Structure 1
Amino acid sequence: MTAPKKVVLAYSGGLDTSVILKWLEVEYGCEVVTFTADLGQGEELEPARKKAEMLGVKPENIFIEDVREEFVRDFVFPMFRANAVYEGLYLLGTSIARPLISKRLVEIAAETGADAVAHGATGKGNDQVRFELSAYALNPEIKVIAPWREWDLSSRTRLIEFAEAHQIPIAKDKRGEAPFSVDANLLHTSSEGKVLEDPGKMAPDYVYQRTEDPLGGPDEPEYIEIGFEKGDAVSINGEAMSPATVLTRLNEHGKRHGIGRLDFVENRFVGMKSRGIYETPGGTILLEAHRGIEQITLDSGAGHLKDSLMPRYAELIYNGFWFSPEREMLQAAIDKSQEHVTGTVKLMLYKGFCRTVARWSDHSLYSEAHVTFEEDAGAYDQKDAEGFIRLNALRLKLIATRNQRVKG
């Protein structure tokens, strides 16, 4: 690859990406632009600016942006309209953040005249795939640099030696081996590696950062109401809120009751299995609520088709194909299904559990007149069921007759 002249780096301000910043300058002799996204990870981002300036990045080449609203509105909410879960359990908290970061890397590259982007994902994980597929989908000419696949800084000791040699400050807690790695955003916290690598051992209590111990939660259940419009949550307990505010508030409710913990061994796109501890308090509540409002507003045919599409949709996000035509095609079908998914859901939160207890909507398809055990005033003629059953039984009877004849 031709050496890049200017690179936009996805920069957190931590040890790894600070080393990458300096390594890019040393290895390629290029100018570096940093991009730090506030995705709701709960960390102060100004230190990243100061760190980048200290490492020689020009002030005009430091981009720090609050993208929480865009993240929830344009990525999280569309995904939740699909009720997307990977391998039946994982709510895709890390996966859904990567296309937004890649989008901004490519946009900033265009704005600053950079000819390459860089990320800090390792060569064993899924994130390298997600970052790079998204970048190429948005700019087929962009160069992507993945230092972990190129350099020889293959251990924590080598990283620290490089940092010391280039006067990169190292926090005291970074000199030893971290007990596990963490990725966080407004949707979830993901913890992997080290003490979590053996799936046969329970995760230590200190791993959990976003949720309280469910068993130590309030002894009384809490009830909340979530309002929806066209599949998206727009209010909590009658108070209208922006997308990011809705998720932030649901995280607070979920944290208090220990909702959204997941100990999961997943199949990575790159081929190996990986064990992770995920905490998705607000997302777990949101998924339950969305399912609840769909129960009364979504036609069975549309709902069953949508459920059959969901695993493929979730897999596309997990594997890094957010900007693919097939994901966009599925999204169009999913969004069409949400035209009448409007109403309110009441949920009970209690000691790690979240359960729908009531739901209502002006768009409801639920008809008490048809399902009542009392007199239905002619809304449903039970005799009609006989012909319905006979028609559906016809092929089964023909098969049974054939089988008896063949056996005889």
Structure 2
Amino acid sequence: MAIQAKKEFKKVVLAYSGGLDTSAIIPWLIETYNCEVIAFAADVGQGDEELIGLREKALATGASECYIVDLKEEFVADYIYPTITTGAVYEGEYLLGTSMARPIIAKAQVEIALRVGADALCHGCTGKGNDQVRFEGTFAALAPELAVIAPWREWDMVSREDLLDYLAERNIECSASLTKIYSRDANAWHISHEGGELEDPWCEPTKGIWTLTVDPEDAPNKPERVQLSFEEGKLTKVNGESLTPYGVLMALNKIAAAHGVGRIDIVENRLVGMKSRGCYETPGGTVMMKAYKALECLVLDKASLKYREQIGLEYSHVMYDGRWFTALNDALLAGAASFAEKVTGEIVVKLYKGQATVTQRKSPNSLYSEDFATFGADDVYDQGHAEGFIRLYSLSSRIEAMNKKGLALKNTGIE
């Protein structure tokens, strides 16, 4: 780091949010590296309130320009939908909301940097978190020739107080204050909450934590049903209405949030080795994942579904660990996409008091046959055939048991 700090850069593109950290980073870059700073912000559905006035704020802080790129549709269609087809859920609960947004944001940042002739990229990720790996993994894959500046690994500021003092000394206005309790990250898929009382895993989250979903205890006493239509793994309609990928997600977020669906409170393993506790709200995504998996169970045979589940487990770590732009990522997505070709049909999900329950399903590719599955009389399945199947299926266990008991194999039907 000391060697890099002595270098002067001509032009740096900063991943900019307008928050306290990146507001301080702009003047720090100018003072430390004697460079021009170009701010870049990605609209991935975090909400207009985070984007209004962002360009003006960046310029007032010292940036020469601020690019705000609308990535909402691309984010849902090309990053969220493919991840859904893998069935990826990190450590059994986390639907990877922050993880999925990082590769598209970092990719767009690289594209801006190459377009304006920058010689360095900068991010505001801390040295304790996963995001530094996700951003820099993308930088390495797409533009290894560009230097990377990570201020939190270089400067001597260690707290919000330090950052506020730094800005005050330079007469730079900032809306942030010491009263901020939680660290939040939002996009079209979810919002995450960390900090405050959540740093104690024994402390139950207060109502002030949650910002997107209704408390399940306060949700309507009457359930609501929503019908989803899938075509080859892609969710195309909500209650019969055709929508874009982003439109589908927004519609489901609104419907599911009203019923308190999509809340989780977990302690997870960060890539850097430490554990962290976070609360996540993913209302529409929870409904989509439930529906997709229910349709998969209808159209995939046992061996295929087992393998797809293995893909999902592996892919949850690929996505969480920031390895989107890798050969392994491409291979896993290709495998999941081949199974997704069969995922066409209709699903009905009942939403009630924080729960999303699949109640109806149908597909032209269904492998379910009432003729075979019925508990009533049928003329398509001879139950007597099961005996031979079971003898062959359990043959190795039978032989092992005979050996242990010292019994001869003759007259057992095995010889």
Following superposition, the deviation at residue 53 of structure 1 comes to 2.1
Return the match for 1:272 from 246, 271, 274. 274
Following superposition, the deviation at residue 373 of structure 1 comes to 2.5
Match of 2:222 in 1: 220
Following superposition, the deviation at residue 321 of structure 1 comes to 0.6
| Paired residues of 2:232 and 2:341 also in contact (CA < 8 A) | yes
1:125-182 per-position Cα deviation (integer Å, ceiling 9, x unaligned)? 11111111111111222211110110011122211111112222122xx221421111
Following superposition, the deviation at residue 362 of structure 1 comes to 1.2
1:373-407 per-position Cα deviation (integer Å, ceiling 9, x unaligned)? 33333x2222221211111121110010111129x
Aligned residues: 401
Return the match for 2:160 from 125, 135, 156. 156
Following superposition, the deviation at residue 340 of structure 1 comes to 1.0
| Paired residues of 1:119 and 1:145 also in contact (CA < 8 A) | yes
Give unmatched runs, 5+ long, in structure 2.
408-415
Match of 1:48 in 2: 54
Return the match for 1:77 from 78, 81, 89. 81
Specify the SS of the correspondent of 1:37. Answer: strand
Summarize the alignment of residues 179-328 of structure 1 with structure 2, pairs less than 5 Å apart: 179-328=181-330
Specify the SS of the correspondent of 2:208. Answer: helix
Following superposition, the deviation at residue 197 of structure 1 comes to 0.1
Matched to 1:136, the amino acid is A
Match of 2:413 in 1: none
CA distance in 1, matches of 2:83, 2:299: 19
Match of 1:404 in 2: 405
1:181-236 per-position Cα deviation (integer Å, ceiling 9, x unaligned)? 11111111111113210000101110100100101111110011000111121110
- Give the percent of matched residue pairs that are identical in Structure 1 and Structure 2: 47
**TM-score, normalisation: structure 1:** 0.96
Return the match for 1:101 from 100, 105, 116. 105
Following superposition, the deviation at residue 280 of structure 1 comes to 0.7
CA distance in 2, matches of 1:348, 1:358: 9
* Higher mean C-alpha deviation, range 133-142 or range 83-92: 133-142
Match of 2:385 in 1: 384
Matched to 1:227, the amino acid is S
Residues 1:86 and 2:79 aligned together: no
* Higher mean C-alpha deviation, range 208-217 or range 34-43: 34-43
Following superposition, the deviation at residue 287 of structure 1 comes to 0.7
CA distance in 1, matches of 2:392, 2:62: 77
1:27-72 per-position Cα deviation (integer Å, ceiling 9, x unaligned)? 10111111111111123313111111223433xx321111110110
Following superposition, the deviation at residue 4 of structure 1 comes to 2.1
| Paired residues of 2:37 and 2:63 also in contact (CA < 8 A) | yes
CA distance in 2, matches of 1:70, 1:269: 26
Match of 1:394 in 2: 395
Matched to 1:382, the amino acid is Q
Return the match for 2:34 from 29, 35, 41. 29
CA distance in 1, matches of 2:117, 2:395: 69
Residues 1:16 and 2:16 aligned together: no
Following superposition, the deviation at residue 242 of structure 1 comes to 0.6
What RMSD, in angstroms, separates the aligned Cα atoms of the two structures? 1.3
Matched to 1:76, the amino acid is I
| Paired residues of 1:13 and 1:47 also in contact (CA < 8 A) | no
Which runs of structure 1 show a deviation greater than 3 angstroms over 4 or more consecutive aligned residues? none
* Higher mean C-alpha deviation, range 362-371 or range 312-321: 362-371
CA distance in 2, matches of 1:330, 1:3: 41
Specify the SS of the correspondent of 1:266. Answer: strand
* Higher mean C-alpha deviation, range 44-53 or range 119-128: 44-53
Following superposition, the deviation at residue 3 of structure 1 comes to 2.9
| Paired residues of 2:23 and 2:174 also in contact (CA < 8 A) | no
CA distance in 2, matches of 1:34, 1:159: 18
1:220-255 per-position Cα deviation (integer Å, ceiling 9, x unaligned)? 100110001111211101111111111111111111
**TM-score, normalisation: structure 2:** 0.94
1:93-135 per-position Cα deviation (integer Å, ceiling 9, x unaligned)? 1111111111011111111101111111101111111111111
* Higher mean C-alpha deviation, range 49-58 or range 81-90: 49-58
CA distance in 2, matches of 1:140, 1:368: 57
CA distance in 2, matches of 1:95, 1:139: 20
Residues 1:126 and 2:130 aligned together: yes
Give unmatched runs, 5+ long, in structure 1.
none
CA distance in 2, matches of 1:367, 1:126: 46
CA distance in 1, matches of 2:237, 2:372: 31
| Paired residues of 2:26 and 2:63 also in contact (CA < 8 A) | no
Match of 1:138 in 2: 142
| Paired residues of 1:121 and 1:127 also in contact (CA < 8 A) | yes
